[in-house]
Structure 1
């Protein structure tokens, strides 16, 4: 056992059986030479083993809920779960790490605003591992996920031993996520590129409602990009998500408004994610208006598909507007880098892949009953932990995140020790 492992983590590990037990030989082809199951295989091969959605079960579930009902307490059938935690899904927002690192390289504040928008608009498409909409596992309180993206191998690098991912280097993008609250279910995540001094602090939690033929998910919270060399922050909100076609083949669309604001320079952007309509079959579209400081008329206009090509368009009334449409970004031609995750044998008990390994393995071989059983064990363990805290009259304290304003429930969560802490420049950045 890792000497830094807490008693709670030891209990989590002991609460689960040493190995999956099955009366069949369904796991035999996934065993290592020593006979143990290779759980890393199930995570590293996400496209295999997909199950067909059983619409009769979905209809049975929908018959129990009413239009407008909050779905926060509805348990979805295990067979429609994606084989990973929600914390890991958030890491996919950095699958274009080169765009995240490049935000600080803009020569002007306008260039950096546009670079931040380019990363943000390209960050939604990379996590589509399934052709149909599936729901990741709900993280339990205290769950963690760590990974990094090693995309710049041509430049000499050095390890960042005091960072959130000590096995990453200063030219990679390191990512750390933690479930910091259960009610409401808040996930917080942090990313950094040390060489360019770019960091991201974010917190997000979802509220779901049933609308008859779709499920709407409001993503509350925000992401704050900090450029330490420029003393600038870019504060983003998130669009809503809609699961449609739930009686046939479910798919996900993003919809609604989001904003991006830089308080230090005055640049701001209004982003509208557009869903399919009766008069238009176009999908995954957005439009973005960028405003310079003190301007009431947009200086830049971006339109297109966030899953394809976004164009910088001629913007009437703007002196800096291009004379003709230009490609702002083509995400299909932008390299996606795979996250690098430690093998499960090196992970702590509450790291996502280790924690959910039995559920993931069972779903991979389509054993829904076994997956449901293992999922229930994890959920029961979370309830037992909560009962123990109530009995001892103690509050839960996240491992690496703190609220910026401890007495404000709406305040964002900030990772510590962040790159700001480690460079001892905290006084230069005001936490918004």
Structure 2
């Protein structure tokens, strides 16, 4: 076993990582270059399952038709090395019928883990429950379909999911920034999120520039998250798949304790894919609890000694298990993702800026690709028209539910402006709930309206 410093820098080290180190040394997922397809020389097709298939045959197994693939590659190859977050208009063929704001809300699915953390008196188990909650979201992040970029001013509401209220809002278009606030009797959760990307030809690296603040109400402890980056492989050629190798670091800012979990890279024949292991450390950087599992299955923990070895007489305790998902679901949705998209879960008095109301999202959900594409183009042009109008009037966009603070927080991938929840949404919901006028309103009849100038931007 290495020293504590070695363990920490290795993303946990010790008992589980020492086993995995041998596995990782076998190699990585099979990289093959496509050389025989006209104009595609040198592009890598990465097969996580290994195998000896011809690279050209593997390249043609993606969701694209040949003519669409050719056209998209002609458009995209000039952006190699660039941040394509806001540069490229993407076809709806690669989209799922959900916006990024809805994706943000998927972390709420296992919020009972935070309820347990808040009730837990053991500081290390409290951190283990909290870290498992953040790990639980990675199953949803493995979906290979892209969510719609939110329109500036777009919102998404979740009311009373296991007692949790959540509101998200798109506060910036260039660069794209989303802000969310969730709360129940046990915790508050706040996130400012800005994605940074690097396009690499047949893959894209995604860097989660963001700040997360989680507060457990019983203890008052504040937690900060630094997640690993993500890589989307076989973006154009081959079967798309997602990997998130690297460290997740969750720090208790109140006490100095932290959890450091290592997300293993995908190795030969998928070896190591989905695996996570690491430790909960004391404020003195001593390992106290080892954690291990797979983010598509479960996470468990066990008390450990100062060398990171399991304490004698203790057993692994399962903290979280992934719920079953619908079989053969086109978009690989969980049951919870379907609930988030459903008007059955829309609150009374749904904001007209809500993601569920987007006509391009709704058309894609109904399988009408042509209408989805045309509506997406119409919304994007309307957004550009509003930008021109703001510039002509020397106006600024002001979010409704969040305020820009003076804080600039450093992240491993760049500095970030921080937004905070302003409390106005809580007042808004109180007024809605006390009103009887909207009881029977049909949310599907509401026209999508996130616009700053709703009567002038056509």
Q: TM-score, normalised by structure 1?
A: 0.71
Q: Which residue of 2 aligns with 1:79?
A: 93
**Partners of 2:138 and 2:349 in 1: CA distance:** 29
Please, which moves more after superposition, 107-116 or 333-342? 333-342
**TM-superposed deviation, 1:188:** 0.5
| Structure 2: tracts of 5 or more residues without a match | 1-61, 326-334, 410-414, 429-458
User: In structure 2, what is the Cα distance between the partners aligned to 1:315 and 1:62?
Assistant: 51
Counterpart position of 2:352: 349
Counterpart Cα distance in 1 of 2:97 and 2:259:
35
Q: Aligned residues, how many?
A: 344
Q: In 2, are the aligned partners of 1:221 and 1:238 still within 8 Å (CA)?
A: no
Alignment map for 1:298-309 (pairs within 5 Å) = 298-309=287-298
- Residue 315 to residue 57, structure 1, CA distance change in 2 (3 Å): farther
Q: 1:202 aligns with which of 191, 215, 224?
A: 191
Asked if structure 2 preserves the Cα contact closer than 8 Å seen for 1:290 and 1:298, the reply is: yes
Report the equivalent of 2:402. 401
The corresponding residue for 1:389 is: 390
Partner of 2:316: 326
Listed one character per residue, the Cα deviations across residues 77-103 of structure 1 (whole Å, up to 9, x for unaligned) are: 211111011101110011112123322
Residues 307 and 320 of structure 1: CA distance in aligned 2, closer, same or farther (over 3 Å): same
Structure 1 position 174, deviation (Å): 1.0
Superposition deviation, residue 149 in structure 1: 4.7
Q: Distance in 2 between the 1:217 and 1:301 partners?
A: 28
Match of 2:306 in 1: 317
Determine the structure 2 residue equivalent to 1:251.
Answer: 241
For 2:90 and 2:347, locate their aligned partners in 1 and report how far apart those are by CA, in whole Å. Answer: 27
CA contact (8 A) 1:311 1:325 kept: no
User: What is residue 126 of structure 2 aligned with on the other side?
Assistant: 112
Mapping for residues 175-214 of structure 1, pairs under 5 Å:
175-193=166-184, 195-196=185-186, 198-214=187-203
* Structure 2 partner of 1:234: 223
1:125 is paired with a residue of what secondary structure?
helix
CA distance in structure 1 between the partners assigned to 2:427 and 2:382 by the alignment: 34
Q: Tell whether the 8 Å contact from 1:94 to 1:100 is kept in structure 2 after alignment.
A: no
Q: Greater helix share, 1 or 2?
A: 2
Q: Residues 59-208 of structure 1 correspond to what in structure 2 (within 5 A)?
A: 59-63=70-74, 64-66=76-78, 67-72=80-85, 73-126=87-140, 133-151=144-162, 172-193=163-184, 195-196=185-186, 198-208=187-197
Q: CA deviation at 1:372?
A: 1.4
Alignment partner, residue 273 of structure 1 = 263
Q: From the superposition, tell whether residues 217 and 230 of structure 1 become closer, same or farther in structure 2 (CA, over 3 Å).
A: same
Q: Could you list the runs of 5+ residues in structure 1 that have no partner in the other structure?
A: 1-50, 152-171, 423-432
TM-score (normalizing by structure 2): 0.67
Secondary structure of the equivalent of 2:139? coil
Change (3 A) 1:263 1:212: same
RMSD of the alignment, in Å?
3.1
Q: How many angstroms apart in 1 are the aligned matches of 2:323 and 2:407?
A: 43
**Partner residue in 2 for 1:260:** 250
TM superposition shift of 1:406: 5.7
